[in-house]
Amino acid sequence: MALDTTPQFDDPRLAATVPTARAKELKGSSILAIAAHVNRLKAEGRTVSNFTIGDFNTAIFPIPARLREGIKDKLDAGETRYPPAVGVPELRASVRGHYERHLGLSYPEGCVQVGAGARPPIYAAFETLVEPGDVVVYPVPTWNVGYYVFLRGAEGVPVVTSPDTGFMPTAADLLPHLDRAQLILLNSPLNPTGTVIAPELLKEIGEAIVAENRKRLDEGRRPLMLIYDQVYWQLVYGDYRHVTPVELVPEMARYTVMVDAISKCWAGTGLRVGWAVAPPYVIGRMKPLIGHMGAWAARAEQLATADLLDDDAAQADYMVPFKDALRERLTILHDGLQAMKAQGLPADCLDPQGAIYLSARFELHGKTVAGRTITTDEDLRNLLLEEAGVAVVPFTAFGYPEGSGWVRFSVGAVDLDAVHGAVTRLQALLKQVG
């Protein structure tokens, strides 16, 4: 008789034996639950414009041809060995050159750590800069910062921001926490809001951090550090401009870890090439962490990325139509929502500023729409999806307080018909407000 080799996992007692509280308590992304809801409706044959995905439809937004062909060429050339844990020298040099030409930042050798996307450098920076129990300050809404705080066993201090500043913090928001904080995190252009930090705000924050650290160094204390996530920095629209803390306050180079990747600006989310640019004393500590995690990017992708970053003409050929197509989608949503507002309907939004996101607000709490009374942001999300076929992510998924009515639209995975259809269906739904 043949042996039954089917793995058996059905003993319910086993789940309780997972030994660490951290493994037991870490929660998955709430956006995945929303995705399951969307997929269920689509399986039923419902029309859904899906604005939940912070990714790209590759049929609409492929990676640059220069990058695609470069990866193929590197693979054909046998570039499949382990890369150095810090990243191949060609890519580290290309990142430095790219930043010097396009951001005006002249970093010396030893300031770049490559990783498999932006997440490993962020995680390694937490492990390097934060001890368990340290205070980490971050504005909300924000992407995933709370998970990194939890994984490090730190004390998270979320700072609630306002649409008046594009959901960006001011120095006044952060000052009460500076003396206790070990790390601050900023992201611009911001996921989830699609907004860009104003130069005067970032300069004021940088000056406050520098002043705090002058005091700390005199007292023999560890400096306050900043992680500046700029993975969307090339996707800025209109008169808005991307700025860096080092550009505005050069002394911030000592205290800033800038995080970047090809994931968003080159639509290469699945290629997993990212990096941190930071002082050598930080990079030197991050390097063994990335190495022991095995969280390096593949050699072929690193080398092809280096070639792309060295080729400004190829970058421009890709970036101009890419940005135009993204901005077109954001503008259709913005103009449609503003037209609804002008008609007296309970909708509003911020200007498209950057990234692939639009911040919109639906003032429906306490109101009845299509026979539903809206009391929570989850009620709002369900209403928009089930009654208008418009899938969005509420800001509560990004740590923002309940009841704001703010949601994120993400346009990287939708065609123009889906965008126009969403505007039409939202208008029809909002006209039913009782």
Residues 240 and 346 in one domain: no
In a domain, 3, yes or no: no
In a domain, 68, yes or no: no
Q: What is the pLDDT of residue 31?
A: 83
Q: What is the pLDDT of residue 292?
A: 95
Residues 140 and 287 in one domain: yes
Residues 104 and 27 in one domain: no
Question: What mean pLDDT comes out for the span 103-120?
Answer: 97
Alpha-carbon span 286 to 254, nearest angstrom: 15
Q: Are strands 406-410 and 393-394 parallel, antiparallel or unpaired?
A: antiparallel
pLDDT tier at 7, thresholds 50, 70, 90:
confident
Residues 100 and 23 in one domain: no
Tokens found for residue 103: 């951001």
Q: pLDDT higher for 298 or 34? A: 298
Residue 23 has pLDDT above 80, yes or no: no
pLDDT tens digits, residue range 220-239? 999 999 999 999 999 999 99
Q: What is the pLDDT of residue 101?
A: 98
Judge if the upstream peptide bond of residue 141 is cis by omega within 30 degrees of 0: yes
Q: pLDDT higher for 62 or 18? A: 62
With 0.85 as the threshold, say if the pTM is over it.
Answer: yes
Residues 169 and 269 in one domain: yes
Of 290, 316, 342, which one is at a domain's C-terminal end? 316
92: CATH: 3.40.640.10
Q: What is the pLDDT of residue 25?
A: 76
Residue 27 has pLDDT above 80, yes or no: no
In a domain, 71, yes or no: no
Residues 97 and 51 in one domain: no
In a domain, 7, yes or no: no
pLDDT tens digits, residue range 59-106? 999 999 999 999 999 999 999 999 999 999 999 999 999 999 999 999
Residues 344 and 245 in one domain: no
Q: What is the pLDDT of residue 356?
A: 98
Residues 162 and 289 in one domain: yes
Residues 53 and 138 in one domain: no
Question: What mean pLDDT comes out for the span 329-347?
Answer: 98
Residues 108 and 248 in one domain: yes
410: CATH: 3.90.1150.10
In a domain, 2, yes or no: no
Residue 207 has pLDDT above 90, yes or no: yes
Q: What percentage of the chain exceeds 70 in pLDDT?
A: 99
Task: Please tell me the total count of domains within the chain.
Answer: 2
Mean pLDDT check: name the lowest of 4-18, 75-89, 162-176: 4-18
Q: What is the pLDDT of residue 1?
A: 60
pLDDT tens digits, residue range 152-162? 999 999 999 99
Of 316, 345, 377, which one is at a domain's C-terminal end? 316
Residue 163 has pLDDT above 80, yes or no: yes
Residues 100 and 28 in one domain: no
Of 316, 336, 352, which one is at a domain's C-terminal end? 316
Residue 402 has pLDDT above 80, yes or no: yes
In a domain, 385, yes or no: yes
In a domain, 74, yes or no: no
In a domain, 38, yes or no: yes
Question: What mean pLDDT comes out for the span 365-385?
Answer: 96
Mean pLDDT check: name the lowest of 13-17, 169-173, 190-194, 211-215: 13-17
Q: What is the pLDDT of residue 35?
A: 87
Residues 95 and 238 in one domain: yes
Q: What percentage of the chain exceeds 90 in pLDDT?
A: 91
- Expressed as residue numbers, the domain containing 370 is 14-61+319-430
Q: What is the pLDDT of residue 30?
A: 79
